[in-house]
Amino acid sequence: MTTLSATLAINIDDIRAAAERLAPVVVRTPMLESPYLNEIAGKRVLIKAEVLQRTGSFKFRGAWSAMSALPDPVRARGVIAYSSGNHAQGIAHAASLYGIPSVVVMPADSPRVKLNNTRALGASVITYDRANGESREAAGEALAKERGLTLIRPYDEPMVMAGQGTCGLEIAEQAAHLGVTQADVLVCCGGGGLSSGVAIALQAEAPGLRVRPVEPVNADDTCRSLLAGKRLSNDAQPDTFCDAIVTPMPGELTFPVLQQLAGPGVCVDDDAVLHAMGLALMRLKLVVEPGGAVALAAALNPSTCQDDAIICIATGGNVDPHWLVAAASGTRG
Amino acid sequence: MTTLSATLAINIDDIRAAAERLAPVVVRTPMLESPYLNEIAGKRVLIKAEVLQRTGSFKFRGAWSAMSALPDPVRARGVIAYSSGNHAQGIAHAASLYGIPSVVVMPADSPRVKLNNTRALGASVITYDRANGESREAAGEALAKERGLTLIRPYDEPMVMAGQGTCGLEIAEQAAHLGVTQADVLVCCGGGGLSSGVAIALQAEAPGLRVRPVEPVNADDTCRSLLAGKRLSNDAQPDTFCDAIVTPMPGELTFPVLQQLAGPGVCVDDDAVLHAMGLALMRLKLVVEPGGAVALAAALNPSTCQDDAIICIATGGNVDPHWLVAAASGTRG
């Protein structure tokens, strides 16, 4: 058994405390299984459907965990986040449930649907121009200082990692209920907030379940970093449609957790991801976005592992309709 | 408070017993909510996601309930069903989990995907030719007799009604957890198996929740029958794409339950249904078939009721890809 180093950013008690704070608002997402997908994979495939979480991704867990951990007067002043994606929506919705202001700084060229959703969920959106070299920090910093907003980072933030870890507590219970106690747990991996939180939860609650981060072949920083034993970065503009999980490199706080408790990583190509999205629609009745489907794509590949069962998290479902149409049509374009 | 007549086909104890038999295999489907949909409806909309049930619809509940209630030696000989749709898949999968033979008699011109799915789930499929006036009874009867198969009807079958009622037990618990104790519960209605089972469950467990059956405008037999106080039939070939819930008339066993405990019914047109399917994809991340989306379509119409909250069941998700594409594209063509 691995012994946790005292230097890790969070421990199981942080995750259990986050679960208590989340209990009144979180969706306990189901663990699904389909005989069709089992047949393809040659083993049982259990799918944790985090696309059904509030705001359509697991990110709500971390956002609520971080906000609920703030002292009341600090939280009341509001929060700020830098994000073009699912973290932004999680922050906006959590703040709105708390009735506190939230500011999200987004690139001006973000997909319109993400800008609109973040606003619709209650955040003030501030845009900055990437092309002109404007930095997001410059756009948000003055405002944050002036209003006393608390910055909530998307993954390198202990209370966010603890919130994402609550998904791991549920996986441990649900897998046991379904009779699975020994399996790889494939997790779509960007900065590693979910992978690290789930890894700590499973080590405590279901030590036979082991996290393996999954990435697109062209943004495989975590896979390579785990092999190299140090944090390596991605290309500046990786060629993949899995936008939600493209990050520059593994997190400073998340990577040490993954080194101790997770891996080896798995890579999948975009064609396999689109195919998995189509199967999720037809066989699981779930909309899964590209970055949320890499773990399912890996789970469906019989060569990913030789066990009798495999678990994967479908992490998010905030996808442009044209990719849905492509997935439903069985073609990519 | 309504007093249940002793002549109804099932009571709450039948539903509780079915829930015990279902516990090891059923998916406890989540009750979902989206701020976007609440905004459209002008009230809280809670969606019970039965599309996530095994085989993609609530029908698995009734199939398992009926099969598990059979004496062992009877069940071992196998079961037979007449169905072109979701009941067929529920029967095939339940029989396969039990390791017993199942025969499903389907029209030869059923959609290929339904024929294939029913076979893939483990049933022997026997087709008959509707156009030549062949009857499904003729096709199945000899075989059923010869092999001693037990017929499981899709709705006019007490143990099927009890199985569908287990969905109502979950709704009662989940709505209470979400703080909703007074609301209409909109249920997509074909023969009335689900509507009647849920109505009995709610009367016992959550008397502030009342079932209202929802149907397509062109197949509104239950709505009209409830108004008339007697069972009325539909046109032979109603013009609607909600195929899963087109039945000749309300069931003999189900209708008396609806008369005592449910209504008034609600009708929706196919355009509203397709729009609801698109919103389910984008806002709930769920694939819902036309017949499974009528209740959501009704819930989203602000005029359906004036309460602060409304509940609806998304009953099934077994849809042809071209309707998915149409729903995702926001057009019906």
The reply to whether A298 and A210 lie within a common domain is: yes
B5 domain-assigned = no
Distance from the Cα of B314 to chain A's closest Cα (Å) equals 11
pLDDT in tens, A9-48: 999 999 999 999 999 999 999 999 999 999 999 999 999 9
Q: What is the pLDDT of residue A1?
A: 46
CB within 8 Å of chain B, chain A residues 29-88: 29-30, 32-33, 35-36, 39, 49, 51-52, 54, 56
Q: Which residue is closest to B57 within chain A, CA to CA?
A: A285
pLDDT of residue B332: 45
Q: Is the same domain home to B172 and B233?
A: yes
pLDDT digits (tens, 9 = 90+) for A125-156: 999 887 787 777 778 888 889 999 999 999 99
Residue B2 lies in a domain: no
Between CA B167 and CA B197 the distance in angstroms is 8
Contact assignment for B30 to A51 by CB distance below 8 Å: no
Per residue, the 3-state secondary structure of A284-327, as one string, reads HCECCCHHHHHHHHHHHCHHHCCCCEEEEEECECCCCHHHHHHH
From B151, B179, B213, the end of a domain falls on: B151
CA–CA min distance A123, chain B (Å): 13
d(CA A114, CA A85): 7
Asked whether the predicted pLDDT for residue A3 surpasses 60, the reply is: no
A115 and A192 within one domain: no
B127 is a domain residue: yes
**Which residues of chain B register pLDDT less than 50?**
1, 332-333
Are A82 and A226 in the same domain?
no
Q: Which of B30, B282, B317 sits opposite A29 (nearest CB)?
A: B30
Number of structural domains, chain B?
A: 2
A122 shares a domain with A264: no
Listing DSSP states for B296-321 in one string gives: HHHHHSGGG--SSEEEEEE-B----H
Q: How many degrees, rounded to 5, is the angle at CA B299 between CA B154 and CA B249? A: 30
CB of B99 within 8 Å of a chain A CB? The answer is: no
Mean pLDDT of A201-205: 98
* pLDDT value of position B3: 55
Is the domain of A202 the same as that of A308? yes
Out of A118, A151, A184, a domain closes at: A151
Domain co-membership, A52 together with A65: no
The verdict on B206 and B275 lying in the same domain is yes
Of A32, A93, A96, the CB nearest to B27: A32
Q: Is residue B227 situated within a structural domain?
A: yes
Nearest-angstrom CA–CA distance, A324 and A288: 9
Model pLDDT, residue A176? 97
3-state secondary structure B111-179: CHHHHHHHHHCCCEEEEECCCCCCCHHHHHHHHHHHHCCEECCCCCCHHHHHHHHHHHHHHHHHHHHCC
Structure confidence at residue B109 (pLDDT): 82
Please indicate, yes or no, if residue B3 is contained in any of the structural domains.
no
What is the dihedral sign for C-alpha B98, B99, B103, B109? positive
Q: What pLDDT, on the 0 to 100 scale, is given for residue A122?
A: 95
Name the residue with tokens 């409830």. Answer: B226
- Cα A209 to Cα A187: distance, rounded to the nearest angstrom: 12
At residue A239, does pLDDT exceed 70? yes
What pLDDT score does A5 carry? 57
- Residues in chain A with CB shorter than 8 Å from the CB of B325 are 325, 328-329
Say if residue B138 is in the same domain as residue B163.
no
> Using a CB cutoff of 8 Å and minimum separation of 24, what contacts does B110-116 make?
B110/B84, B111/B84, B111/B320, B113/B318, B113/B320, B114/B84, B114/B85, B114/B88, B114/B89, B114/B318
Q: What is the pLDDT of residue A331?
A: 56
Residue A2 lies in a domain: no
Share of chain A above pLDDT 90, in %: 82
Q: What is the pTM of this model?
A: 0.95
Interface with B, mutate which of A279, A283, A285 (most B CBs under 10 A) = A285
Q: Examine residue A3 and state whether it is found in any structural domain, yes or no.
A: no
Which secondary-structure segment (H or E) carries A32?
A: strand A31-32
Helix H or strand E encompassing B82:
strand B79-82
Examine the domain organization and report whether B248 and B181 are in the same domain.
Answer: yes
Its domain, for residue A278, covers 12-58+157-329
Q: How distant is the Cα of A158 from the closest Cα of chain B, in angstroms?
A: 28
What CATH number corresponds to the domain at position B213? 3.40.50.1100
- Regarding whether B306 and B206 lie in a shared domain, the answer is yes
Kindly report, residue by residue over B120-131, the tens digit of the pLDDT: 999 999 998 877
Instruction: Let me know whether A107 and A233 are in one domain.
Output: no
What is the average pLDDT value for chain A, to the nearest integer?
94
Mark which of A90, A124, A151 sits at the end of a domain. A151
Q: Residue B179 class from Cβ within 10 Å (0-12 exposed, 13-18 middle, 19+ buried)?
A: exposed
What pLDDT, on a 0 to 100 scale, did the predictor assign at position B4?
54
pLDDT value of position A84: 74
Residues of chain A neighbouring B285 (CB-CB closer than 8 A): 51-52, 56, 286-288, 317
